[in-house]
Chain A
Amino acid sequence: MSLAFSAFTTQGRRMDTRVVSVGTRTATTLLWLGGVAALASWGEFRPGGDSAWLAMGGVLIAVGFAVTATLLGLEGGQSGNAVLFAVLTLIWVCDQVASRDVGALTPVLLWIGGFTQLVAAAVLLRYPSSALDVWGRWFVGVTAAILGAVQLAIILTGTRADWQTSELADGPWPTLIRAPALNDALWELRWIVWTVAGPIFLVLLVRRWRRLGFIERRTLSPILVTAGITTVMISLRLADDQLPGVGPQVMEGVRAYAAVAVSAAFALSALRMRLERGDVATLASDLHGPVSIEEVRDALRRALGDPGLEVWFWVPEQDTYVDAAGAAGTLPDPHDRLLAFVSDSHGAPMAVVLTDISLERHHQLVDAAVAVSRLALENARLQASLRARLVEVRTIQTRLVHTGLEERRRLERNLHDGAQQRLLGLGMRLGALANTVEDPETTMSIDAARVELQHALEELRDLARGLYPVALTQSGLASALEAVTERLPLEVTRDVPDRRWPPDLESTAYFIACEAMSNACKHAGECTVRLRVYEKDNSLVVDVTDNGQGSTYLTAGGTVRGIRDRVEAAGGRLTVRSTVGVGTRLVAELPCG
């Protein structure tokens, strides 16, 4: 009783903590977004200032950045980028506020604000990973150093008026040396830095896009495309003067809104990643009731947006994982695929979900999806182990066929090398003896013995050839079937390509053809046989057709039982049609591999 009570209170306290934590987070978020919006719009919408839509653009960019920072902060593993976005937000706000009435702070804020594009570029080159690559680091580092120095020099050699700040802007300016010519040159230099940095950034961006996994491409493409366009627009200041009827003011606005688009794309992508978690919630309803392996797999594919996702199941009897088809396999390297292991209710291994490695950054999402589908996976596992059993049966069957054929080859060879050579040697000795004997009675006895020996040899030869024709191993189906049809007491037209297949397949096809032709000899009466062997749809087809009397009992099973067994053991398909007065056609299709 007390135990239950204590458990209840613990539960209650935990709930309280959660409520408080959610409340605090919401409050902080609102304060952050509200503060950014207020600061960015402070003093913006006033008569004589920038046009209202231009001012609005600045505010939207700030809010967009702030929202993205917040969403990234809520996402696991993105805290670094969230901080960078928060910094970007603040730098942008500094740049916006600098043109207001902030007195001595103006030059400081202007200097900080000059880094806006560079910080934005750094985030674009990182996200969603948490570090820049070596080229990115060089690019950001070098540009930051040059830009910082040039901006500082511009401020120190100029006056407040250079910055086109409005009449409100009044206050001290840290002019070190008044040198208008130098100042103009420095402004020019700043533009050159931007026009050089812009294309380099674009190259880095394209290079990065090409290296992304498909899932990341889907998420990042809109951001990267808008960023690319914006960069081009910022770099092309020439357009200001060359586009007829478009003033610098308009271009300024277009640039501002392009930046808004980047910020919005970012926010949308972050939001999308959060919404994808919602897809996982629909998994539960998708997987309601008994479902097949394929249904679970497809539901997981949809929920995680990974069309290459696979589910493997643990089969304890075989002590291995099997794929959806039931074939045993070795798990891929965890560097190539993300592996999410699932245990059954007793903690024993049950299944593993293999996803694209790019989902590693969203492993929480994968874990959630796997957790939701656990019950369905447990059901599907029964199906998987059945399939695995079937695969095993098939493997054993193939092995038995192989062993049987191998045994035939071995017996034939033993007969050939042993008994046959011994008897042939004996025949030679008898022949030699006959040459040396002159007594007619003895010669007659020897001749009689040689005739007997000849019969024995013929019987043995037929037996050995029936076991396994050596021509099959040596020259393939065409030769072996030529040899066998030559000895048949009926007319056979052959159409067998002179090419090779795997030994067991050739043997199976050979014995099927032999048995079918021997059936024709026995049951079809006076007839001719057409034997065709060809490959079709990755199957080796043996087609034996006769124009004999046809026989209903041939299709009934008994006679073709042997052939059917061979075909089935090889995993193939047999069709037999027999019409009285027309003939019989037997078609065996054997899978090639």
Chain B
Amino acid sequence: MRIGIVDDSALFRDGLTMLLASAGVEVVFQAGDVDQLLARIAEVPVDVVILDVRMPPTFTSEGIQAAARLRELIPELGLLVLSTYAETAYAAQLLDITTRSIGYLLKDRVSDTATLQDALRRIAAGESVIDPEIIQRLLARERHATTLGRLTERERQVLQLIAEGRSNVGIARQLHLHPKTIEHYIAGIFQNLGLPDTPDDNRRVLAAIEWLRDAST
């Protein structure tokens, strides 16, 4: 798998490159800002680009805007956005762009090789990846207590994994269950939450997160 990295911190870029190299993943280019990225990506084809959210010039959400632009330019390119803070609003903005081959993770999450490799593989396979911290925070909201109380422990686990962006097969593997059983669980959860059941894994992520965010009660 060929990876491109764009982050304004050279220290972070080098650390990430070293980590990926040690795991046998090839980083074909590094860029310090969006302009450099756009110049390099035209020359060197990659499978997934890892982007920092905060980059020059305004250090707010350049990474998300760059992701939107890249998706338009090269639709098949996988996008993993990394952030120092896990913000639900950023995750939602990213999922607004697309729910296919896109990810949003905390930066310290990816110092774990297994997590990083798993995320890259899933993104390359067309799945979406959302940081578990965000989903846990949303699930912990008291206002969901009544509705979520109706779910079993297992069903809550499945919901968390759905919202993180995993496919039925992925969930089954994680929980050591049969995919058919997972499908059964999912149907139950969606009925309980009053969500339209859809076979499309990615659209399911968005539906679950929107339900959990449910900003104005």
| One of A424, A493, A494 near B107 (C-beta < 8 A) | A424
Q: Which residues of B contact A432 (CB under 8 A)?
A: 15, 18-19, 21-22, 113
A61-69, A480-488, A515-523: which one contacts chain B?
Answer: A480-488
| One of A425, A464, A471, A482 near B12 (C-beta < 8 A) | A425
A-contact 0/1 string along B32-76, CB 8 Å cutoff: 000000000000000000000010000111000000000000000
Whether, in the assembled complex, A193 has its beta carbon less than 8 Å from a beta carbon of chain B, the answer is no
Contact B113 A473 (CB under 8 A): no
| One of B9, B90, B137 near A425 (C-beta < 8 A) | B9
A433 to B112, CA, bound (A): 11
The distance from the CB of A430 to the nearest CB of chain B, in whole angstroms, is 7
B-contact 0/1 string along A411-427, CB 8 Å cutoff: 00100110011101111
A474 to B87, CA, bound (A): 12
Contact B87 A431 (CB under 8 A): no
A-contact 0/1 string along B12-28, CB 8 Å cutoff: 10111011011100000
What's the interface size class on A, roughly?
35 or more
A427 to B60, CA, bound (A): 23
A416 to B217, CA, bound (A): 33
B-contact 0/1 string along A455-492, CB 8 Å cutoff: 00100010011000011011100110011001100110
Whether, in the assembled complex, B157 has its beta carbon less than 8 Å from a beta carbon of chain A, the answer is no
Q: CB-nearest residue of chain B relative to A416? A: B84
A386 to B20, CA, bound (A): 68
Whether, in the assembled complex, B85 has its beta carbon less than 8 Å from a beta carbon of chain A, the answer is yes
A490 to B145, CA, bound (A): 12
B-contact 0/1 string along A504-532, CB 8 Å cutoff: 00000000000000000000000010000
Contact A486 B138 (CB under 8 A): yes
B-contact 0/1 string along A382-422, CB 8 Å cutoff: 00000000000000000000000000000001001100111
Contact A486 B141 (CB under 8 A): yes
Whether, in the assembled complex, B98 has its beta carbon less than 8 Å from a beta carbon of chain A, the answer is no
Q: Which residues of B contact A428 (CB under 8 A)?
A: 12, 15-16, 18-19, 110-111
Q: Which residues of A contact B8 (CB under 8 A)?
A: 417
A491 to B140, CA, bound (A): 10
| One of B18, B84, B87 near A420 (C-beta < 8 A) | B84
Contact A429 B19 (CB under 8 A): yes
Which among A417, A422, A425, A528 has the highest number of chain B CB atoms within 10 Å?
Answer: A425
Q: CB-nearest residue of chain A relative to B138? A: A486
Contact B19 A470 (CB under 8 A): no
Whether, in the assembled complex, B108 has its beta carbon less than 8 Å from a beta carbon of chain A, the answer is yes
Q: Which residues of B contact A422 (CB under 8 A)?
A: 11
Interface residues of A in 154-197 (CB under 8 A from B): none
- Complex A-B, nearest 10 residue pairs according to Cβ-Cβ distance, in ascending order: A428-B15, A425-B15, A427-B111, A425-B11, A474-B60, A421-B9, A491-B142, A435-B22, A432-B22, A479-B89
Residues on A close to B: CB < 8 A? 413, 416-417, 420-422, 424-436, 450, 454, 457, 461, 464-465, 470-471, 473-475, 478-479, 482-483, 486-487, 490-491, 493-495, 528
Q: A425-B11, A479-B87 are in contact. List 4 more A-B contacts (CB 8 A).
A: A424-B15, A424-B107, A425-B16, A470-B85
6 residue pairs bridging A and B, Cβ less than 8 Å apart:
A425-B9, A425-B16, A432-B19, A482-B88, A482-B89, A487-B137
